Amino acid sequence: MESAFDTYDTRILAELQRDARLSMAELGRRVHLSQPAVTERVRKLEAAGVITGYRCTVNLQALGYPIRAIVRVGRADYARVVKVVQQTPEVINAYNVTGEDSWILEIAVVDVPHLDNVVSRFCLMTETSTAIVLNAVREHQPMLPPRREDMTKPLAGRRSAKV
């Protein structure tokens, strides 16, 4: 499958993921396009659903939430879990997944009693497993369209299998 993204689109996506607050004029300078040309490309990427929004990221600890946790939620009624997730502002991310668990949640809380209170909402439905996040090594990784050569390249230090 060939990528529908050209070099300009890829560079635009890279720059916007680095800094979504760039003006169209500055973005154009960085990718070597005129401001009208870059504006049109950004609009097309938005219309195609490639760019889905722009956001501000915050430091949860500075905001007053020093503890983050990953909560694995076992099999439970889908609609019920969705409802509790939507009613729980401490849930930062919620993923319905395959495997032994049905859900993986990321939550942010003030302290351990707060953690217990939030997790208890899900324990009423099914079994849970909670891990406190000690350190985030990578978050909000910018993504670009896949390149064919990256998909077929063996991992560093590993030989590709011979057929």
60-132: CATH class:
alpha beta
pLDDT at 149 (0 to 100): 73
Q: What is the pTM of this model?
A: 0.78
Contacts of 149 (CB under 8 A, 6+ apart): none
Question: Which residues on adjacent β-strands are paired with residue 132?
Answer: 69
CATH of 7-55 among 3.40.50.150, 3.40.50.300, 1.10.10.10, 3.40.50.720: 1.10.10.10
Contacts of 32 (CB under 8 A, 6+ apart): none
**Domain layout of the chain by residue ranges:** 7-55, 60-132
pLDDT at 156 (0 to 100): 65
Across the chain, which has 163 residues, the per-10-residue mean pLDDT values are: 75 95 97 97 96 92 97 96 98 96 98 98 96 94 83 64 51
Cα–Cα distance measured from residue 163 to residue 17, given in angstroms and rounded to the nearest whole number: 39
